Amino acid sequence: MPHLHVALVTERPEISLIPILQLRPQRVVLVPCQAAPQAAERLAILLRHELPATTQVDVKPGFASENPQLCAEYANTLADELYRQQFDEPHLSVTLDTGGCTTLTALLFHQAMQRCSADWLYADAQTGLLYRLASDSPDMPPETTAIEPVLNVDRYLQANGRKRVRALSDNAPWREKSQRRKCLTTYLAHHADRLAGLLGELHDIVHGSDGVLAPPDPRSKARLRQGGECQHLLATPGFPATDALNALDDAQLLKWSSDAPTKIIIDDLESALYLGGGWLTEFTWLSAQEAGLTHMCSGAHVLDLSVQHNAEPVVSDCLAVECNQLLFVEWLIARPGAEACIEQGLNRLHEILAHSAGLHASRVLLACGEFDKASQRLTELQRLQGYQVEVVESAELKHLPALLASWKEQGKWPGA
Q: How deeply is 24 buried, as exposed, middle or buried, from its count of CB atoms within 10 A (0-12, 13-18, 19+)? A: middle
Classify the C-alpha dihedral 69-75-76-81 as positive or negative.
Answer: positive
163-410 shares the fold of 3-150 = no
pTM: 0.91
Least confident of 86-90, 104-108, 147-151: 86-90
Buried b or exposed e, range 217-254, using 16+ CB within 10 angstroms: eeeeeeebeeebbebebeeebeeebeebbeebeeeebb
At 314 the pLDDT is 84
Class of domain 163-410: alpha beta
With a CB cutoff of 8 Å and minimum separation 6, the contacts of 402 are 291
Q: How many CB atoms lie within 10 A of CB 399?
A: 14
Question: Which CATH number, 2.120.10.30, 1.10.10.10, 3.40.50.10770, 3.40.1050.10, labels domain 3-150?
Answer: 3.40.50.10770
Q: How deeply is 290 buried, as exposed, middle or buried, from its count of CB atoms within 10 A (0-12, 13-18, 19+)? A: middle
In terms of Cα–Cα distance, which of 377, 364, 378, 369 is closest to 406? Answer: 364
DSSP state of 8: E
Q: What average pLDDT does the chain have?
A: 90
At 309 the pLDDT is 60
Percent of the chain whose predicted confidence (pLDDT) is above 70: 96
Q: What are phi and psi of 127, to 5 degrees?
A: -85, -15
Rounded-to-integer distance, Cα 195 and Cα 208, Å: 19
In terms of Cα–Cα distance, which of 318, 77, 33, 278 is closest to 178? Answer: 278
With a CB cutoff of 8 Å and minimum separation 6, the contacts of 109 are 6, 8, 71, 75, 96, 98
Q: How many CB atoms lie within 10 A of CB 349?
A: 23
With a CB cutoff of 8 Å and minimum separation 6, the contacts of 401 are 287, 290, 291
Amino acid identity, residue 74?
Y
Between the two ends of the chain, the Cα-to-Cα distance in Å is: 44
Q: What are the extents of the domains in the chain?
A: 3-150, 163-410
What pLDDT band is residue 253 in, cutting at 50, 70 and 90?
Answer: very high
Least confident of 132-141, 162-171, 330-339: 132-141
Q: Is the per-residue pLDDT at 375 higher than 60? A: no
Cis peptide before 142 (omega within 30 of 0): no
In tens, the pLDDT along 17-57 reads 999 999 999 999 999 987 778 889 999 999 999 999 999 99
At 258 the pLDDT is 92
DSSP state of 214: P
What pLDDT band is residue 385 in, cutting at 50, 70 and 90?
Answer: low
DSSP-based three-state secondary structure for 184:
helix
In tens, the pLDDT along 267-286 reads 999 999 999 999 999 999 99
